[in-house]
Structure 1
Amino acid sequence: MNSLDTVIVEVADLPAATRFYSTLLGPDSPYLGLRASGDPTSGFRGFALSLVASQPGNVDALVTAALDAGATVLKPASKSLWGYGGVVQAPDGTIVKIATSAKKDTGPVTRDFDDVVLLLGVEDVKATKQFYAERGLSVGRSFGGKYVEFASAPGRVKLALYKRRALAKDVGVSAEGSGSHRLVLSGAASPCRDLDEFVWEAGANAR
C-alpha cells in the first residue's frame, strides 16, 4: 500500500446513490466507487468525504447541487476563521464536507472542486499514522495527535486522519455509531484492516 486510489462507498440503494454522486462529482468519477451493501450500520460511520473548492461561490454551487440531488444540511455554508464551507449528508448517509480556504470569489462560479479528501475518524491518530507509514504511505502534514494528512499524487484521493470525536464535531453529528463503516479503501498491495476496522482492498495502482 502506498496510496489511496479510490474510495468505495457501500450503499443500500445503488441506483439512487449512483444518481446522487453523478450529480455531485460528475459521471464516472475517478475518486469514488459504489457497491451495494445491506450491512447493518447506525449513527456516525467514522468518516467524511471533503470536497475542496477554490472559492466560496463554488462551495455554494456544490452545496446547492447536493441538496437538489437529495442531500440534507448538517451545517449550512458559512464563513469561519479558516475560510468558507458547509456540510451535507447524502441520501445513503455519507457525510460530505464542502469547503474552501479562500474568503472571496476570484473567478466565474462553477461546480468544480480541486481535491477530494477522505477524512477518517480514528481513536488514536498517532498509532494509525504509524500503521499507515509502515505500509508505505508518506506523511504530508502532521499536527501531533490531532490531524495527519498523507501525501498523494495529483488526481488521487487524499487520506487524512482526525480524532473520531473531533471529526464528528467538525461535521455536526454525534460521535456515537455502530456497525459497518460501509466504506472500502482501494489501494492496498494486499487486503488489510486498520486499527479502527477500516477495510483496504487491493488497488490497480498499488505496488
Structure 2
Amino acid sequence: MDTNTITETISAVVIEAADAAAAERFYAAFGVGSRVRVRQSDAPSSGFRGFTLSLVAAQPGDVDAVAAAALAAGATTIKAPAKSLWGYGGTLQAPDGTIWKLATSAKKDSRPAAAVFDRMVLLLGVDDVAASKRFYVERGIAVGKSFGSYVEFETPGSPVGLGLYKRRALAKDAGVPERGDGSHRVAIAGVLGAALDPDGFAWEAPAA
C-alpha cells in the first residue's frame, strides 16, 4: 500500500453497545460528531476492553467543559481532571463502558473556555508492541513517533489518530484494572478494510 494515497487512515470508530440508542444519544451530547458511530452488540465483554479514546484540547478550561458535557450526558468520572507534569487532564467512562481520556498540554487558559477539542486519538492496548507495530507498518501506516511501549502513527487527513500502548500501561494511565475478557466492542472503520490485528482489534471498510 502506498501511504501517499491514504486520505483517512481512520474515518470513524465504531462503538458496539448493548443499548445502541442510548449510546447514540450520549455521543450526540458529547459532541464527537461523525468520528464515532454506534451499533448494537450483545457480545460478552467484561472489565478493561483494551482501548481508550482521547480528546486533546487546547487548554484546561476546554477539558473541564468537555468533561462537564459528558458527565451531564451520563458519563462517570474515573480520574477527575487535574494538573500534572505534562499538562492537565482526566478520564471518564461513557455509559456504554468506553473509556475516554481528556487532556491538554497547556497549563493555563488563553481564552474563555468552550466544550471543544482539537484532536481525537484511538489508543490500542497491545500485548507485544513490536509485533503490533510491524502489522500496521507492513500495511502502509507509517510511524510518527515511537519510544518504549508507545507508538504513534501518522494519520494524514484522518479525523481520528491512532496509537499503540502496552496494555498494562494503558490501563494504568486510564486508572482502571488491566484485567478484561471478551469482545473489545469496538471496530475501526478505515483504510485497512476488513482486517484483524494481532490483538484482535477489527478493521472494516468505511461506511459508504
CA shift for structure 1 position 15: 1.3
Give the match for residue 81 of structure 1.
85
Contact 1:187–1:204 under 8 Å retained in 2: no
Give the match for residue 127 of structure 1.
131
CA shift for structure 1 position 25: 1.9
Give the match for residue 28 of structure 2.
22
Q: 1:155 to 1:127 in 2, by over 3 A?
A: closer
Give the match for residue 154 of structure 2.
151
Aligned-residue CA RMSD (Å): 1.4
Give the match for residue 144 of structure 2.
140
CA shift for structure 1 position 19: 1.0
Give the match for residue 180 of structure 2.
177
Superposed structure 1 runs of 4+ greater than 2 Å apart:
none
Q: Which runs of 5+ in 2 are unaligned?
A: none
Structure 1 length-normalised TM: 0.94
Letter matched to residue 171 of structure 1: A
Q: 1:55 aligns with which of 55, 59, 75?
A: 59
Q: 1:196 aligns with which of 192, 196, 199?
A: 199
Distance in 1 between residues matched to 2:183 and 2:97, nearest whole Å: 12
Distance in 1 between residues matched to 2:201 and 2:170, nearest whole Å: 16
Structure 2 length-normalised TM: 0.93
Contact 1:189–1:203 under 8 Å retained in 2: no
Task: Give the number of equivalent residue pairs.
Answer: 202
2:34 alignment partner, SS class: coil
Instruction: Please say if 1:10 is aligned against 2:13.
Output: no
Q: Which runs of 5+ in 1 are unaligned?
A: none
Contact 2:10–2:158 under 8 Å retained in 1: no
Give the match for residue 101 of structure 2.
97
Distance in 1 between residues matched to 2:155 and 2:118, nearest whole Å: 13
CA shift for structure 1 position 76: 0.7
Distance in 2 between residues matched to 1:171 and 1:190, nearest whole Å: 29
Q: Deviations over 1:60-82 (max 9, x none)?
A: 00111111111111001000000
Q: Identity percentage over the alignment?
A: 57
CA shift for structure 1 position 188: 3.6
